[in-house]
Amino acid sequence: MIMTLMRKTFLTDLIGAPIYDKAGSKVGRIVDFTLALSNEQPCLDQTIIYDFKSGSEKVAKSYNFEQFTLKKFVLKVDLKNLAVYGKQADRPEATELWDKSVIDTANIRTVEINDLILEESNGIIRVSGVDIGMRSALMRLSNTLVLGSVFKKIGKLFESEQVDWDKIVGCDEEFETITSKLSNENFQNLHPADLADILRDLDDDDRISFIENLDEELAADTIAEVDTETQLNIIDKLDAKTASDIIEEMDPDEAADLLQEIDKDKADEILKHMDLNEASDVKKLLAHDEYTAGGIMTTEYIAIFEDFTIENTISHLRLVAADIENIYYMYVIDTEERLKGVISIRDIFSSNVKQKVSEVMDDDVVSVHVNMPQEEVAAVVAKYDYMSVPVVNDDNQIIGVITVDDVMDVLEEEATEDIFKLAGTSDEELDDDSPWQACKSRLPWLLITLCTGFITSTILKYFMAKFDGMIALVFFVPVVTAMGGNTGVQSSTLAIRGLAVNPYARDNLLKRLLKEIIAGAVMGGVCGFVVGAWAEYLIRSGSTPAAAQISSLYLSMTVGIAMMAAMTFAAAFGAVIPLLFDKFKIDPAVASGPFVTSFNDIFALIIYYAVSTAFLAAYV
């Protein structure tokens, strides 16, 4: 067998390379190449040459070269006899692939092409892969910038990050002209969550191309994995028929959540194209409030009558199981569809086939009402460790179930919402790049903080006027307010988190308040002693007007006691405000962050002023 030596190089190494004539003289330089397909792999088809003599760009076929290799390009025809280059629609230029976003099917990600890897074999130069790393990006800069040699040296310090060509799939139309088209075959073995990662990184048009080339079921599972903003963007650009085919494959609760977010006219049009049974299930869910048990439940569950035998139940399970995504339990109902009990799959297969379901079921079934808030539903599931809970109406008839994955989504949603509220903003900023949206979310709380700043500055004005002969007291205003604010935020954060994970502990207001007062007093005592000692040192080490009027020890005691009092109050205030907000059905998350910090600054300054006045009354 004859082995053919293969050489590899980068496209950037060839751009600007010299073109020689048969006599060995440089007559031009390489501007670019055009690409053509050879066995589904792009190869260099034509060379675009800058002619030194004419100053124009000429085009040479591979057979116009005496030597056409990655090392040297030697023409066997006179350059002046070659045709002037003109853009050809059916032959893309090699550099057109630079910066294109493509899908790396080996590592399941979207990448950007920084350079092409060229391979020479049997006299043909093919594109064997792409480089997506920093090396190739810097090497490209070296060809275009004045300090190119510097970038080239830096680039060579990096390793090449390569992806083989057969692992690359393009999305846009220009890319399809030089590679196999995007198809479901490329992705049929990938998990929808991995496909969702790819989808997020694609441009809007590429997302549509990507989704349209997946089968409906895989497309539905993939869309279900991405964020709401991406879902809406995709559904908005799909025609109603295609969108309905995909949404039909979703779980009813996921379909309802999605349709609830899009334009009503588009949602109605999609529902008209859907299968009648599927559309009916979704419409039932759309009738419920989005943030209640009815809004997050699914209508896909298995119900059996209480007079069924285990044998009947197994037969029924075989008939309907294919249409149910998750089967954790089977719910037992009477002829009025009222919930009577629950039986697990394990119980079914471990029981005698002649036994009645009513003899085996657990009649102490935990259910949630259709109008129960979703955070309370999550607390029920967390408390009892169920994989799913049934949802019932006022007549105790089962109308759906909520599975643990739905509850996890709720917990994530609630936690995210609370985190943003703690910072005085909203999660809308994640889905909106507009600076105006950022201002809309943040500015109200900043203005509130600014207003409280006016109050603190007014208090400080009177403070300084009263103690103008004891300027040393002013040194510690920032320390007292900062420690009070931090203590309050710690306390309020613990209270808010406690309410979120344990809503049944809402009645312990007095107990929580006493705990925070004691904790605040202890922490304040420690910090007060430390700041008092520091105040003693600071006042003694400098010459201040205060030293002439009052002992440094007395001043340091004033600072320390004020610190202790401010931190004790802040701990109690930070704990009680979220609890009071919760009592009055106000989201306690808004009580932390800017709110608690700002008001604790005011109260800390008032406390400092009051303690100083009480202790130093004889000297002012």
Cβ partners under 8 Å of residue 578, min gap 6: 492, 495, 496, 499, 588, 589, 591, 592
Mean pLDDT of 468-479: 77
pLDDT at 546: 45
Is 372 in the same domain as 493? Answer: no
Is 460 in the same domain as 552? Answer: yes
Burial class (CB in 10 A: 0-12, 13-18, 19+), 68: buried
Nearest 10 degrees: Cα torsion 329, 334, 340, 343:
-30
pLDDT at 27: 94
Distance between CA atoms of 457 and 9, rounded to whole angstroms? 68
Residue 221 lies in a domain: yes
**Is 60 exceeded by the pLDDT of residue 145?**
no
pLDDT at 271: 92
pLDDT-based confidence at residue 202 (cuts at 50, 70, 90): confident
Distance between CA atoms of 425 and 449, rounded to whole angstroms? 13
Q: Is the pTM of this model over 0.75?
A: no
pLDDT at 209: 83
| Percent above pLDDT 90 for the chain | 25
Tokens of 241: 């028929």
Tokens of 278: 């599927």
CA terminus-to-terminus distance, the chain: 106
Distance between CA atoms of 306 and 312, rounded to whole angstroms? 11
Q: Are 579 and 613 in contact (CB under 8 A)?
A: no
Cβ partners under 8 Å of residue 505, min gap 6: 498, 499
Give the model confidence (pLDDT) of 167-200 as tens digits: 888 766 656 667 666 666 777 778 888 888 888 8
Sheet holding 168-169, edge to edge: 109-112, 101-104, 168-169
Residue 392 lies in a domain: yes
Q: Which of 127, 211, 213, 210 is nearest to 167 (CA)?
A: 127
Q: Which of 450, 463, 465, 523 is nearest to 491 (CA)?
A: 523
Is 498 in the same domain as 608? Answer: yes
Give the model confidence (pLDDT) of 333-392 as tens digits: 998 889 999 999 889 989 999 999 999 999 999 999 999 998 889 888 888 888 889 999
Mean pLDDT of 141-154: 62
**Which CATH number goes with the domain that contains 133?**
2.30.30.240
Residue 103 lies in a domain: yes
Is 223 in the same domain as 190? Answer: yes
Is 553 in the same domain as 467? Answer: yes
Q: How many other CB atoms sit within 10 Å of the CB of residue 486?
A: 15
Give the model confidence (pLDDT) of 90-107 as tens digits: 788 999 888 888 888 888
Give the model confidence (pLDDT) of 389-409 as tens digits: 999 999 999 999 998 888 887
Of the listed ranges 24-28, 46-50, 414-418, the least confidently predicted one is 414-418
**Which CATH number goes with the domain that contains 398?**
3.10.580.10
Higher local confidence (pLDDT), 100 or 553: 100
**Which CATH number goes with the domain that contains 546?**
1.10.357.20
Residue 425 lies in a domain: no
Is 158 in the same domain as 15? Answer: yes
**Which CATH number goes with the domain that contains 254?**
1.25.60.10
Residue 294 lies in a domain: no
Q: Are 218 and 188 in contact (CB under 8 A)?
A: yes
Tokens of 259: 């349709």
Is 590 in the same domain as 460? Answer: yes
Residue 292 lies in a domain: no
Is 457 in the same domain as 575? Answer: yes
pLDDT-based confidence at residue 31 (cuts at 50, 70, 90): very high
Identify any residues that bridge with 93 across adjacent strands, giving them in sequence order. Answer: 34
**Is 90 exceeded by the pLDDT of residue 33?**
yes
Is 150 in the same domain as 269? Answer: no
Final residue of a structural domain among 419, 451, 486: 419
Is 334 in the same domain as 449? Answer: no
pLDDT-based confidence at residue 548 (cuts at 50, 70, 90): very low
**Is 60 exceeded by the pLDDT of residue 252?**
yes
Place of tokens 């490209």: 140
Listed ranges 200-209, 418-427, 470-479, 521-530; the one with the highest mean pLDDT: 521-530
Residue 176 lies in a domain: no
Is 604 in the same domain as 486? Answer: yes
Distance between CA atoms of 578 and 500, rounded to whole angstroms? 11
Mean pLDDT of 417-442: 62
Higher local confidence (pLDDT), 413 or 575: 575
Phi–psi pair at 90, nearest 5 degrees: -85, 0
Q: Can you tell me whether residue 397 is helix, strand or coil?
A: strand
Mean pLDDT of 3-26: 82
- Domain holding 150, by residue range, is 1-170
Cβ partners under 8 Å of residue 164, min gap 6: 106, 128, 129
**In the predicted model, what is the mean pLDDT of the chain?**
82
Final residue of a structural domain among 255, 287, 319: 287
Distance between CA atoms of 300 and 476, rounded to whole angstroms? 64
Residue 175 lies in a domain: no
Final residue of a structural domain among 287, 314, 347: 287
Number of domains making up the chain: 4
**Is 60 exceeded by the pLDDT of residue 591?**
no
Higher local confidence (pLDDT), 444 or 77: 77
Is 62 in the same domain as 122? Answer: yes
